[in-house]
Structure 1
Amino acid sequence: MSKIFSFGFWNSIARLILRNRLVIILIILGLTVFLASQWKNMRFSFTEANLLPDDHPINLKYQDFLDKFGEEGNLIVIGVKDSSLFTPEKFSAWNKLNNDLKEYSEVDYVISVGDLKTLKKFEDPKRFEMVPFFKEKDLDKQELAKYEDSLFNSLPFYKNLVYSPHSNTIQSALYLNKEIVNSKERKDFVLQELVPLIENFEETNDLELKVSGMPYIRTLNSQNIIDEIGLFIVAALAVTSLIFFFFFRSIRATLISMLTVCIGVMWAFGVIGLLHYEITVLTALIPPLIIVIGIPNCIFLINKYQQEIQNHGNQAKSLQRVITKVGNATLMTNITTASGFATFILTDSKLLTEFGIVASINIVAIFILSLLIIPIIYSYMYIPKDKHLKHLNKVWINGIVNWMEKMVKHHRISIYIVSISLLVISIIGIYTIRISGSLLEDMPQEAAFFEDIKFFEEEFDGIMPLEILVDTKRPKGVLKLSTLKRIEKLENLVAEVPELSEPLSVTRLVKYSKQAYYNDNPKYYQLPSSQERNFIMPYAKSLSSGEGMLNSYVDSTGRYARITTFMKDIGTDKMERIEENLWPQINKIFPEERYDVTMTGKALIFQKGTNYLVKNLVISLSLAILLIAIFMAWMFRSFRMILISLVPNLLPLLVTAGMMGFLGVPIKPSTILVFSIAFGISVDDTIHFLAKYRQELKANNWKIKRSVYAALRETGLSMFYTSIVLFFGFSVFMISSFGGTVALGGLVSATLLFAMLSNLLLLPSLLLSLERNIANKKVLKEPAMKIIESEEDEEEIRKEEEQHSDKA
């Protein structure tokens, strides 16, 4: 009955497709137009990828920090390292640039050397006031040199804010309106206003400016993602079409395949728009992925069609058999591939969940499109000529298949030795893999903005904000001298860490107040004693201009203090060591019964998210392996077949993991995807081979060896074709400027190449070696689902149908 259902179902599908060709074309056209209309809903991500669930404790702490102090990533810095800056002409141009920036509504305020203010003590009444650092507007070279010396030697308050502690580098701090930091307005301001303004300044004044800060980095990075989407799609189409044409030597077969995958790409963008998902560094990969995964479907369908034409020359019969015979097999393989991507839905990461949903939907969609478009288009065309069928009998392809058969027949021990050796070496490599949660590591390292990041790391000790929130548990507790001294101790502790910059906090303003009280003597830039505090307080109460800094680092109640430091581009392992060293000392400085201290910030959250992601993806990959194993066992009615099906597919994953260890490629959000993607795709070859093997067993009266070699010859060609397409298709991602995308493309390509060799050499070797225990008639019962129908099956099914109808 299962065979009747299987054959009958796919026969009905074939009749439905071929009898309703025009209706199906109109439906596909209508759906394509509808999904194209959803493109307007696509939007590009304006925030960093948050890999943690919204309700994760670390995210909740970060949200608590934002509630008290607002968006922390709103700083853009513009730096210049040039001794000629403090000359009248260039200094005037620098001031004009900063004044122009202040005029933009997107900018809250700018701190620059041209309009610095210094704290001044006045006696009647007793007060501090902020007065301009530069007393006159038009300064000559000598006066500018004097001010330059005063800035670097007498104003420690502005260290790391306006000037570098390491050199004569000057920077302007540009604070964006916090309301636009995570919006399209930020992108428009940076790309349409800031970048042209900077470029014009550089050209006019012969000064090289360096620009950085998280809003700037994020904008240029997201623009790179947008630029690369088109590049990937064009490259994937070019590579796959060239390989396809090389194999089939048919322009029309190539064009039909390209049309199919192009519609699939349009649908992919439409699904993203329909679901209102953002285009991130992951979802940007889906359209070219659809091309790479869709082409093998086209290969199987067109190859089968041409084989049928070569056998009997009947077009209608050929098209019907393409759907009934290949449809079921490609459905199974596409489901397993979609399952590999669908495992990302099981993570609590919004980024990966969206990627998994869109990818799995579109993999099923490209299967449906292939099954409908290819037979329908061929039904309107002439039968392929002999020159289009020549590739079916290529000598060099037969040579490869002969070599594989020879290896399996005579060198199985060598195959096992190589496999075990690879396994042992890979396990050694796996132990050397490190986890990286760097927010900048995957960014284009050849880009100008990445070079600027390194510049600011060198001059200002970091660019990514790391926030420390101190809860004194009482109103106005921050401004108590005991609390300020504790904050200063923590700042000194942080400043000793090479990977972190000197922190910014309210203590700077308090120290500056004492310096101003002692007539701007820089040696008094320190916290006041309890006695000095009584003298200074009458002056400090009138300090109104300092409220900007006070409000930035102390909340309105005076209970919470914010300490901001900047991190260099360090990975998860380094940051974890820094935290391990800091926390015992933090808890000593701030006793837990009197204070609550939290470490947060976007860069830290990204690192924590990477660790969380790794744990979740290990679970999801394990579930994928389990689900596919159960599926294979059900499909072939043999739990022992799990061993046969999983070993050739797990070995390539372990080899790839070992390669990552030896090559120094870390586990990170981009590379962790490799395993689920590769496993979902590589298991397709196993399904094809085992399905054909099961069919050959019955045809050859359960003679194992003959069946294995027959299955190898029959499926080897298609497996080779598809693996080559997948290998070069995923290699396209290696042209990316994003390190993570390059690693993803290279690792998936390598894994699929290993998987092809494993399925064509190790899998048949295992079948031959374990024939008594696994690959025999008792174990290999009638499959639950017929994947490949043979001619004998069709005759048997027709007889059963006739008998069934007679009884009825």
Structure 2
Amino acid sequence: MFKLFTKNFWDVTARLILRNKIAILVAIIGATIFFSFQWKNMRFTHTEANLLPDDHEVNVVYNDFLKIFGEEGNLIVLGVKDSSLFTVEKLNAWNKLSESFKQFDDVETVISIKDLQKLIKDNENEKFQLEPFIKDSVSSTKQIETLQEELFKKYPFYDNFLFNKETKTIRTAIYLKKDIVNTSARKDFVIDVLNPAIEAFEEANHLDVRVSGMPYIRTLNAQLIIDEIGKFIVAALLVTSLIFFFFFRSFRATFISLIVVCIGVMWTLGFLGILNYEITVLTALIPPLIIVIGIPNCIFLINKYQHEVKLHGNKVKSLQRVITKIGNATLMTNVTTASGFATFILTESKLLKEFGIVASLSILAIFILCLLIIPIIYTFLPYPKERHLEHLNKRWIGGFVNWMEHMVKQKRIAIYATSLVLLIASIIGIYQIKISGSLIDDMPQESEFVNDIRFFENEFSGIMPLEIMIDTKRKKGVMKLSTLKRMNELEDLIIETPELSKPISVVGLVKYSKQAYYNGNPKHYQLPTSQENSFILSYAKNSTSNVDLLKNFVDSTGQYARITTFMKDIGTDKMERIEENLQTEIDKVFPKERYNVSMTGKALVFQKGTKYLVKNLAISLSLAIFLISLFMAYMFRSFRMIIVSLIPNLLPLLVTAGLMGYLGVPIKPSTILVFSIAFGISVDDTIHFLAKYRQELQANHWKIKKSVYAALRETGVSMFYTSIVLFFGFSVFTISSFGGTVALGALVSATLLFAMLSNLLLLPSLLLSLERSIANKEVLKEPSINIIPEEDDTEENLKNKY
């Protein structure tokens, strides 16, 4: 009954398409214009990818921190490591550059060498006063020498914040206003103000200025993502069209395919606009993905059309058969591919959900466009010329088909042995896979801004903020000497950790106050005793300058304090070890009944997000396997066939995972996508092969060997064609400057190549070896869905008929 319904459905669909071709073309043009108007709603991301659900504990803690202290990723740093900076002319120019940024509305504050203040004890008024190290400008070399002597030896409060006393590296801190950090205004400031000013300074003073900080990194990284979208689309179009032309030797067929996939890309960008999604490093991959996935659809449809035309010469009948016979097959394969992407929708990660929604919608859209546009356009075109049909003889690929058949016939044991060796080696490799939670791991490693990150890591132990928030559970609890001592103990551990920078907190300010109380003697840069505390606090309370400094470290109620340190770009293993050490110290130093202490910051949130995604990888891949298994069960109504069909598709995934372990490619947000994407695409070959195999069984009266070889010869060529397109299509991503995107492209390409060989060698071998248990009428019952409809006309009948 269902089979009859399916046949009637596609017959009706074919008639509707071919009889209403003008109306359908107008509708497609109208829809494309509508989608192009939605492009204006596309938004380019101004924040890091938050890989965790909004209600995840790590996000809750981070958002609580932001509510109390505001955005912590608003610091841009400029640095110079050059002894010639310590000349009158160049040091004044450096200070003038730093001062120039204060005039912009986007800037909250700028702290440079010129802005540093000495805390001076005023005995007469019993308070502290601030006195600048440089009052106006530097006027002599002697003044510079005195400045160096004071900064590098007498005032440890500033050490490792604006200078490195060992290497004499100097930097300037620019704090952007917190309300513009996650908006397009940040990009305008960096691109239009900051970079031109630095370039002019470098040219005038012959100094190399290094620039970093989260706002700067995020801006340049986002700009690279935007630039690469166009590069990927052009490269994907070029590569796939060249391969397509090589197969078909027809400019006309190639041009039609390009029109279809270009419209598909326009629709994809329209989906992003309608849904108001940001373009992230993941969603930027979808347009070229649609090109790569759309071209095989075009190959199937155009190849079938040319086959039919060569067979009987009737163009209308040929186009009708393209829709009725290939429409069903391409629908099923596109649904399975879309299912692989759609599993990401069920994860709790917003980033993956958006990617899954747009990708699955786009894949179904490209299927509809291929099915409508290709038959309609061919109704207006003349018959293909003889040279366009020469590729149908497939003489050049005959050797490959013969080799496959020979391997399955004669070398089945070798196929099983190779598969077993690959499986064992892959399992060993899987145990060597590492997880990467680095914020900059996927960034272009050769780019200038990543080199600058390395520079600041070497000179100042990193630029990735790690925050520790202390809740004393009572107002003004931070300034209690007992709290300060506990914070100091924790800071000692941070200082001893080489991957972390010197911490910044109220503790340093209190130590600086004691130093000032003892007339600037650096030996007294330490926490006051209980007796000293009352005297020093009385001075501090009378000082407005201290209140201004204090607000960066303590909230307005005095209940919450923060310890800020910066972290190097380290792997997840090291990060977890550091986090564990810090947590052990926190638990020891801060009694839970009196304090709530939490670690947060962008680096920690990203690392936790990566671990969360790894868990979601298992969930999404399991869902993809489960959904596709259900689909196979519904098609073939055989549990044994599900097992047989899954083995050739799971083995390539294991091989790829093993390769990642051996090659040192870590699990991270970009490489996590490989498995679900590859599985959703590779299972298409299995569906085609098994559908053709079942059809051959019926035609050959359940003669297994004959049916397997016939299915292998029939589907092997189309599998080879589409696998080559997919292999080179995904290889396009290896031209990316982003390491994660390169890994994604290379790994998916390799997986699909393994999957093709697995489906052409291991799958038919399994069918032959298990012929008694699966290849019979009881097991292979009438399918619920006929992927490939039976031929209703023989070649001779068609020739007579037309």
Shift, 1:595, TM fit: 1.0
Q: What does the per-residue CA deviation read over 1:9-66, in whole Å, with 9 as the maximum and x for residues that have no partner?
A: 1011011000000000000000000000000000101001111110111111111111
Number of the residue aligned with 2:90: 90
Aligned to 1:445: 445
Offset of residue 524 of structure 1? 1.1
Alignment of 1:556-571 (within 5 A): 556-571=556-571
Match of 1:241 in 2: 241
> Aligned partners of 1:487, 1:416: CA distance in 2, in Å?
62
Q: CA deviation at 1:473?
A: 1.1
1:330-363 deviation per Cα after TM superposition (whole angstroms, max 9, x unaligned): 0000000000000000100000000000000000
1:136 Cα deviation (Å)?
4.7
Unaligned ranges ≥5, structure 1 = 796-808
* Greater Cα shift, 543-552 or 168-177: 543-552
Distance (Å, rounded) in 2 between the aligned partners of 1:52 and 1:297: 35
Normalised by the length of structure 1, the TM-score is 0.97
How far is the alpha carbon of 1:135 from its aligned partner? 3.8
Q: 1:436–1:667: 8 Å Cα contact kept in structure 2?
A: yes
Residue 213 of structure 1 corresponds to 213
SS in 1 for 2:754: helix
1:385 corresponds in structure 2 to 385
Q: Separation in 1 of the partners of 2:652 and 2:496?
A: 45
- 2:91–2:138: 8 Å Cα contact kept in structure 1? no
Name 1:781's counterpart in structure 2. Answer: 781
Mapping of 1:718-757 within 5 angstroms? 718-757=718-757
Structure 1 counterpart of 2:488? 488
Aligned to 1:5: 5
1:800 counterpart residue number? none
CA distance in 1, matches of 2:606, 2:793: 56
2:409 aligned with 1:409? yes
Give distance in 2, aligned partners of 1:112 and 1:732: 45
Match of 2:326? 326
| Counterpart secondary structure, 2:511 | helix
For 1:362 and 1:630, the matched residues in 2 are separated by 23
Following superposition of structure 1 onto structure 2, how do residues 630-779 of structure 1 map, counting pairs within 5 Å? 630-779=630-779
Q: What are structure 2's unaligned runs of at least 5 residues?
A: 796-802
Distance in structure 2 (CA, Å) of the matches to 1:542 and 1:248: 86
- What residue number does 2:798 align with? none
Matched to 2:398, the amino acid is N
Q: Which residue of 2 aligns with 1:400?
A: 400
How far 1:571 sits from its partner (Å)?
1.9
Structure 1 counterpart of 2:514: 514
Mapped partners of 1:689, 1:549: distance in 2: 72
Task: Quote how far apart the aligned CAs of 1:138 are.
Answer: 4.1
Q: Deviations over 1:100-146 (max 9, x none)?
A: 11111100111100232111111121110111112452411122122
What corresponds to 1:804 in structure 2? none
Amino acid across the alignment from 1:191: I
Counterpart of 1:98 in structure 2: which amino acid?
S
Question: What's the counterpart of residue 20 of structure 1?
Answer: 20
Q: CA deviation at 1:451?
A: 0.2
- Taking the TM superposition and a 5 Å limit, the aligned residue runs for 1:72-471 are 72-471=72-471
Q: Equivalents in 2 of 1:370, 1:204: separation in Å?
A: 58
Query: How much has 1:742 moved relative to structure 2?
Result: 0.5
Counterparts of 1:147 and 1:5, CA distance in 2: 88
Answer whether contact 1:44 1:222 (CA < 8 A) is retained.
Answer: yes
**Residue 52 of structure 1 contacts residue 609 of structure 1 at CA under 8 Å; is this kept in 2?**
yes
Inter-partner Cα distance in structure 1 for 2:497 and 2:604: 16
| Structure 2 Cα separation of the partners of residues 664 and 338 of structure 1 | 30
CA contact (8 A) 2:212 2:463 kept: yes
Amino acid corresponding to residue 170 of structure 2 in structure 1: I
Find the aligned partners of 1:166 and 1:717 in 2 and give their Cα distance: 67
Q: Which moved further from structure 2: 536-545 or 668-677? A: 536-545
Could you tell me how far apart the structure 2 residues matched to 1:181 and 1:548 are?
A: 22
**1:2 to partner: Cα distance:** 2.7
SS of the aligned residue for 1:552 comes to coil
| 1:801 aligned residue | none
**3-state SS of paired residue (2:789):** coil
Aligned residue type for 2:397: I
Whichever residue aligns with residue 437 of structure 1, its letter is G
Check conservation: 1:7, 1:794, Cα contact below 8 A: no
Mapped to 1, the partners of 2:26 and 2:62 lie a distance apart of: 51
3-state SS of paired residue (1:566): strand
In the TM superposition, residue 540 of structure 1 has moved relative to its aligned partner by 0.9
Partner residue in 2 for 1:806: none
Match in the other structure for 2:800: none
Which amino acid in structure 1 is aligned with residue 467 of structure 2? Answer: E
SS at match of 2:26: helix
Structure-1 residue corresponding to 2:477 = 477
CA distance in 2, matches of 1:199, 1:692: 64
For residue 281 of structure 1, what is the amino acid of its counterpart? V
Q: Aligned equivalents of 1:452 and 1:603: distance in 2? A: 18
Shift of 1:522: 1.1
1:548: how far off?
A: 3.1
Q: How big is the shift at 1:192?
A: 1.1
> CA contact under 8 A between 1:427 and 1:658: conserved in structure 2?
yes
2-structure distance, mates of 1:166, 1:731: 46
Moved more, 201-210 or 153-162: 153-162
- Cα offset, 1:178, TM superposition: 0.4
Q: Which stretch of the first structure deviates more once superposed, 608-617 or 354-363? A: 608-617
**How many angstroms apart in 1 are the aligned matches of 2:203 and 2:585?**
50
Give RMSD over aligned pairs: 1.1
Q: Is the 8 A contact 2:138 2:144 kept in 1?
A: no
SS in 1 for 2:468: strand
Q: Tell me if structure 2 keeps the 8 A contact 1:122–1:129.
A: yes
Equivalence map 1:467-616=2 (5 Å)? 467-616=467-616
Residue pair 1:165, 1:459 contacting (<8 A) in 2 also: no
CA distance in 2, matches of 1:102, 1:218: 22
- Report the Cα distance in structure 2 between the residues aligned to 1:558 and 1:281, rounded to whole angstroms: 41
Offset at 1:553?
A: 1.0
* Cα offset, 1:495, TM superposition: 1.1
**Aligned-pair CA distance for 1:365:** 0.1
After superposition, the C-alpha distances for 1:780-799 in whole angstroms (9 at most, x for unaligned) are 0100011111224899xxxx
Q: In the alignment, is the contact (CA less than 8 A) between 2:702 and 2:775 conserved in 1? A: no
Deviates more, 1:536-545 or 1:686-695: 536-545
Quote how far apart the aligned CAs of 1:538 are. Answer: 2.4
Between the aligned partners of 1:542 and 1:723, the Cα distance in structure 2 is: 76
Identity within the alignment, %: 71
Rounded to whole Å, the distance in 1 between the matches of 2:48 and 2:31 is 33
Please give the per-residue CA displacement for 1:426-466, whole angstroms capped at 9, x wherever unaligned.
Answer: 00000111111111100011110000000000000011000
| 1:50 counterpart letter in structure 2 | N
Q: Structure 1 residue 778: deviation in Å?
A: 1.7
Aligned residues of 1:472 and 1:560 also touching (Cα < 8 A): yes
- Alpha-carbon shift at residue 537 of structure 1 (Å): 2.1
Give the equivalent residue in structure 1 for 2:799.
none
Rate the CA distance shift 1:326–1:531 in 2: closer, same or farther, 3 A: same
Mean Cα displacement is larger for which, 671-680 or 199-208?
199-208
SS at match of 1:26: helix
Count of aligned pairs: 795
CA distance in 1, matches of 2:245, 2:680: 26
Segment drifting more, 211-220 vs 158-167:
158-167
Q: CA deviation at 1:643?
A: 1.0
Is the contact between residue 490 and residue 582 of structure 2 (CA under 8 Å) also seen in structure 1?
no
- Distance of 2:265 and 2:350 partners within structure 1: 23
Residue 554 of structure 2 aligns with an amino acid whose one-letter code is V
In structure 2, what residue type is equivalent to 1:200? Answer: A
| 1:166 and 1:459 in contact (8 A); partners too | no
The residue matched to 1:791 in structure 2 has which SS? coil
